[in-house]
Amino acid sequence: MNIFLKSFAIIMLIIVLLIVVATQLISTEDIVNQVSTNVEQSTGRVLTVNGEQSLSVFPSLTLVLNDVQFSNVAGGSKPNMASINELLIHIPWFSVFSGELAIEKFVINDPDILLEKNADGSVNWQFSTLANTSDDAKNDTTKSPTNDKSVTLPDGFDISLGQVEINGGKLTFIDHQSKETKIIDQLDLAITMPSLRQALNLSGSVRYMAQTLELESIITSPAKAINNQPFTVELNLTSALVKLNYQGEVVNQGEELNGKLSISGDSVKALLNWQNIALVAKDEAFNKFSLSTNMGFVNNKLTLNKLIVSLDELEFKGSTAITLSEPLNISSNIDLGILDLNPYLPEPSSETETTPTDDQASQPIVWDNTELDLSVLRSLNANISIKSSQLLIRDIKLGKNELALVLNKGVADVQLKSFQGYEGNGSGVIKLNANKKPYQINTKFDLANINAEPLLTDAAGFDKLIGKGQLAWDLSTQGISQREFIKQLNGHLDISFIDGAVKGVNLAAIAKSASNIMQGNLSAVSLDSDFSNADKTDFAALTGKFTLTNGVATTDNLSLNNPFIRISGTGDINLPETKVNLQIKSKVVASTQGQAAEATDSGIVIPIKITGPFHDIKIRPDVSSGAKDKLKDKVKDKVKDKLKGLFG
């Protein structure tokens, strides 16, 4: 055993002496010059060492370089693309005797790296190939090096870095086109690269906008990336806010991508807040999210196929393509599934939440005169198809719907291809021209078998009409504000409902008061109404055609058939002034057989006025002097007829 230990000690002593002697024969300046020469040959840039240079033996053969500078591209905003406070190069012992440079470990402390994109689109990380070409190639006028972005590493040139560590420092990216600057600091990265032609592995963390990002990445061939050849990359990014994974191919320095992308996180609100984008939302909204897609990017066109997006309880599927141009161009085909927008809508204001009491008057309607700015529509062209199996917006509940939107140069065409909701169906078209002011809007809709009460209640808070039927309108308008759109409304509106009721007034009670009318006692008949829910007028049919001119809807054929009364009406509804002025003529049915008596009336016509602003509509008998005289004459004639019937 003693002999073995002595022999081992002698061998180790000889090795140490050889290393010490070798290091004395090696000039650190020669090593630096060799490294600088290789760097300049492969990149066309200059690597200089301005600080102290030293070579240590134990615990490993290590070259220490201070204040290392790597030059920037000509015309860059700073002289150097990278400045390194300290660079440690660990060299295998036996590479000293082989005469070939081999690096076992590379440690970079406190680097300051600058990446920039110039106004002409060129980038400083694209290295020149002039240093790698022969004199004949340099003099070949048939090739244009300035237009050839490819880089070719010298034949047989390779670097084995073993492991590269980056500790501290920062990376700055400046886009001189968009005037944006982004900084990544607190670098803590480890890179292994056995060869330029083998996979490069990167792991570690960085800090961006006060958020630490954990990184895991694999580049299949650094040589291809340097030579501007297609290469594959896998990237995993994890932080407290978001997780991102990309697997795919990178072409032309990232100008072309093709692969799979997935993104997920626990809070959209927190993610946007990190990017200094304020989002006020309910507690249950804009939380957990995810996205997965096959992604492609080429010629400034981003395509997302097999797209699946989830947000809270929602899930969307489809595909989309976005062309980065002027204007921006979007083409999408999206299935929204069951879309409940209520969690994402703001709470109703306190004004809309307050229900007036009996002692409080309803507030008048005031159209907003704020000028609308729709110029943003001119900055986007779109061709979008959207469908949903169910749509919930506040109290509006719709079934299957399909919508197509075409937006071109500020002109929007919206087609409601199919509509299912409120037990009915329909279709419609909206065309908006925002090319110039005043903006122009044209709409045409046909809805069939619609249940009126829930539709009008949910859409407009109007719950006074019960029935099922048809709605059709063809309307156009122009303006730059809500008020102007109302004032310029022109077109036609047709309604037709059956087996329903008008809540708030009981016109059948008029029929029961016919005896009072026959006696000429008009004061005993009260037709005033405030649309309370206590009364209603049933109808077998309610129809009407309205012509709108400058916001005023006029009708001369409003009709309601009731088991006890027949109603016809004329007049207008003034939308700009929010006033109603309708004259109703009611004929009392002589028989009480209900609908079967629809052809029989008593001959007594009751004139009624429906007038007032929308928030305070009044329904009264028309007791003008002329109307009184006509009624008295009818009463006299009726009494005479009855007397003749009694006495012959």
Q: What is d(CA 528, CA 579) in angstroms, rounded to the nearest whole number?
A: 17
Partners of 323 in the β-ladder? 301, 329
At 164 the pLDDT is 83
Q: Measured in whole angstroms, how far is the alpha carbon of residue 611 from the centre of its chain?
A: 45
Quote the pLDDT of residue 417. Answer: 87
Residues 93-150 have pLDDT tens digits of 666 555 555 667 888 899 999 999 888 888 888 776 444 444 444 444 444 444 444 5
Q: Which residue has the higher pLDDT, 459 or 608?
A: 608
User: SS3 for 35?
Assistant: helix
Q: Is the previous residue joined to 607 through a cis bond, with omega within 30 degrees of 0? A: no
- Is pLDDT at 245 greater than 90 in this prediction? yes
**pLDDT higher than threshold 90 for residue 321:** yes
Residue 6 has pLDDT above 90, yes or no: no
Residue 537 pairs with which residues in a beta bridge? Answer: 502
Bond preceding residue 59 cis, omega within 30 of 0: yes
pLDDT at 138: 44
Q: What is the 3-state secondary structure (H, E, C) of 210-227?
A: CEEEEEEEEECCHHHHHC
- Pairing mode, if any, of strands 105-117 and 162-167? parallel
Res 146: pLDDT: 41
Closest CA to 237 of 267, 205, 195: 205
Q: What is the pLDDT of residue 459?
A: 58
What is the average pLDDT across 537-543? 83
CA nearest to 164, candidates 126, 208, 200:
200
pLDDT at 88: 86
Under 8 Å between Cβ of 289 and 265: yes
Side chain identity, residue 146:
T
Check residue 335 and give its pLDDT: 94
HEC sequence for 603-648: CCEEEEEEEEEHHHCEEEECCCHHHHHHHHHHHHHHHHHHHHHHHC
Highest mean pLDDT among 244-253, 277-286, 300-309: 300-309
pLDDT digits (tens, 9 = 90+) for 541-566: 889 999 999 999 999 998 888 777 77
| Alpha helix segments (H runs only) across 293-354 | 350-353
Round to whole Å and give the CA distance between 578 and 601. Answer: 35
Sign of the torsion formed by the C-alpha atoms of 615, 511, 561 and 626: negative
Question: Which amino acid belongs to residue 461?
Answer: G
Q: What is the pLDDT of residue 1?
A: 44
Is-above-0.75 flag for pTM?
A: no
- Which of 125-134, 390-399, 416-425 holds the top average pLDDT? 416-425
pLDDT, mean over the chain: 79
Best CA proximity match to 424, nearest among 391, 407, 399, 441? 399
Choose between 100 and 615: higher pLDDT.
615
Give yes or no for residue 292 having a pLDDT over 90: yes
Strands 314-323 and 565-574: unpaired
Measured distance CA(145)–CA(150) in Å, rounded: 9
Rounded Cα distance, 636 and 617, in Å = 33
According to the model, what pLDDT value does residue 413 have?
A: 94
User: Is the pLDDT assigned to residue 451 strictly greater than 60?
Assistant: yes
> Which string of b and e fits 99-112 if b means at least 16 CB within 10 Å?
eeeebbbbbbeebb
User: Residues 605, 627: contact at Cβ < 8 Å?
Assistant: no
pLDDT classification of 612: cutoffs 50, 70, 90 = confident
Higher pLDDT among residues 382 and 635, named by residue: 382
Say which range, 432-441, 466-475, 585-594, has the weakest mean pLDDT. 585-594
CA distance 124 to 402: 49
Q: How confident is the model at residue 370 (pLDDT cuts 50, 70, 90)?
A: very high
As a whole number of angstroms, the distance between CA 180 and CA 273 comes to 19
E-only strand ranges, 252-288? 256-265
pLDDT band at 588 (very low <50, low <70, confident <90, very high): low
Nearest C-alpha neighbor of 305 from the set 295, 291, 316: 295
Q: Which residue has the tokens 């307050």?
A: 354
Measured from the Cβ of residue 283, the count of other Cβ atoms closer than 10 Å reads 8
Amino acid, single-letter form, for residue 18? L
**What mean pLDDT do residues 184-208 have?**
89
% of the chain beyond a pLDDT of 90: 34
In the chain, the amino acid numbered 120 is: D
Q: Quote the pLDDT of residue 67.
A: 93
User: 63: buried, middle or exposed (CB in 10 Å: 19+, 13-18, 0-12)?
Assistant: buried
pLDDT band at 520 (very low <50, low <70, confident <90, very high): low
**Ramachandran assignment for 119, one of left (phi > 0), alpha (psi -120 to 50 degrees), beta (any other):** alpha
Query: Which range (141-145, 252-256, 599-603) has the least confidence?
Result: 141-145
CB 324 within 8 A of CB 300: yes
Tokens of 243: 């997780």
Alpha helix (H) ranges present in 331-479?
Answer: 350-353, 452-460
| Chain CA centroid to CA 110, Å | 40
> Is there a contact between 49 and 39 (Cβ–Cβ < 8 Å)?
no
Token pair belonging to 252: 């032309």
Segment 463-474 shows an average pLDDT of: 84
Identify the pLDDT of residue 130.
Answer: 42
**Tally of residues, the chain:** 648
Beta strands in 324-438 (DSSP E): 328-335, 338-340, 380-388, 390-393, 396-408, 411-421, 424-433
Residues 53-74 have pLDDT tens digits of: 887 776 667 888 899 999 998 8
For residue 509, what pLDDT is reported?
A: 62
